[in-house]
Structure formats: C-alpha cells, structure tokens
C-alpha cells in the first residue's frame, strides 16, 4: 500500500497495516509532531488530518487511511514561513508546554477547511476533544479566530499557507 504523507508517497509494508497511524508516523517516518498523550483517542494530542478530517492517529489503523492524504503538523508550514495557525498560536500565547499544540492546530485546521469564518462557539466545539492543561482555552480560541481572519483577509490557502495564485492578496 502507498500512503500520501505530507505530499510524499510512502510505501507501507503489510506488517504495518494494523499498526496505529501514530506509531507508523513516529516509528517508521520519524514524524514526531503528533504526540502519544493517552493512547485511547481521548486527549487529541495525536490529531492529524486524513483528507480534510481530523483523526486521532493513536486509535486509527494505517489500513483505515488508505487512499487518504495524511497531513501532520510537520507538513503544515511552507518552506519559508509558518502557517497562519502556527503564527497565531505563538502571537496569542496559546503555546505553553507545547504538548497539545500540534493536535490543537490540526483540529483547528480541519475546522477552517469546513468553515473559514467560525465563531468562538464553533471553535470551542471543534476543539472539545483536545485537552490542554497549561493555557486555559481562551488564548487557543483567540488564536484560531485570528488565523481564520488572516487567512480570509490575505486570501491564503488554508492548506499550504500561501496566497492563492492569481488572486488579490491585499483585500481590505
């Protein structure tokens, strides 16, 4: 089986098909951004995207994501710049210890793919499965709202983090 991880085709051996996606990403591909927080899909620290959907990689077998594009926190940033969500988390103090941050950002990304202009209640609902023990949730919600606004105002691709080609990038 071939898996598309962060826009790179990866061969999956038969013995890895029943391995959790988290274990495969960390042990086989050395992508350690997704964290093993609880091992039961309850904390959200292991969240990655499968297609446009946030999935708990610690409870998702590799075989279940066949034919889906997998995006991890490592594949989110552009070559030169951080993604607007990553920048907003730093600017709004939503990063403390950082353990939950990759999962929070990936869950937020899934929300923005469905709804590029969420309100605070929609952000809270989208992040209800992600636990943070350091920041409280207000800086995280503020970060997602700020990133969503930047993405809309600067006409940035939600995945890719670059201005959309052939479009005005300085909208007011």
CATH number of domain containing 123: 1.10.150.120
Domain that holds residue 132: 84-153
Give the DSSP per-residue string, the chain. -EEEETTEEEE--GGGTTSBHHHIIIIIS----S--SSSSSSS-TTEEEETTEEEETTS-BGGGGTTSEEE-GGGTS-SSS--HHHHHHHHTT--SS-SSHHHHHHHHHHHHHH-SS--HHHHHHHTTT---SSS-SHHHHHHHHHHHHHHHHTTB-TTT-SBPTTS-S---
Q: Are residues 58 and 8 in the same domain?
A: yes
Confidence band of 19 (pLDDT split at 50, 70, 90): very high
Q: Please check whether residue 33 lies inside any domain of the structure.
A: yes
Same-domain check for residues 57 and 16: yes
Mean pLDDT of 69-92: 92
Q: What is the pLDDT of residue 172?
A: 31
**97 vs 56 pLDDT, higher one:** 56
Low-confidence winner among 66-70, 109-113, 132-136, 147-151 (lowest mean pLDDT):
132-136
User: Mean pLDDT, to the nearest integer, of 115-124?
Assistant: 97
Number of domains present in the structure of the chain: 2
Residue 65 placed within a domain? yes
Asked whether residue 84 carries a pLDDT value surpassing 90, the answer given is yes
pTM of the model: 0.91
């Amino acid at each position: 089986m071939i898996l598309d991880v962060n826009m790179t085709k990866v061969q999956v051996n038969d013995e890895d098909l029943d391995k959790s996606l988290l274990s495969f990403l960390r042990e086989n591909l050395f992508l350690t951004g997704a964290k093993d927080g609880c091992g039961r899909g309850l904390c959200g620290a292991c969240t990655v995207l499968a297609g446009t959907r946030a999935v708990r990689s610690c409870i998702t077998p590799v075989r279940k994501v066949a034919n889906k594009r997998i995006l991890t926190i490592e594949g989110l940033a552009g070559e030169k710049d951080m993604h607007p969500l990553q920048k907003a988390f730093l600017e709004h103090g939503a990063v403390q210890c950082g353990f939950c941050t990759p999962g929070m950002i990936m869950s937020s990304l899934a929300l923005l793919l469905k709804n590029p202009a969420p309100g605070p209640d929609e952000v809270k609902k989208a992040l209800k499965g992600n636990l943070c023990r350091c920041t409280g949730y207000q800086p995280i919600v503020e970060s997602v709202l700020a990133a969503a606004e930047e993405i809309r105002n600067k006409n940035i691709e939600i995945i890719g983090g670059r201005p959309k080609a052939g479009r005005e990038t300085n909208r007011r």
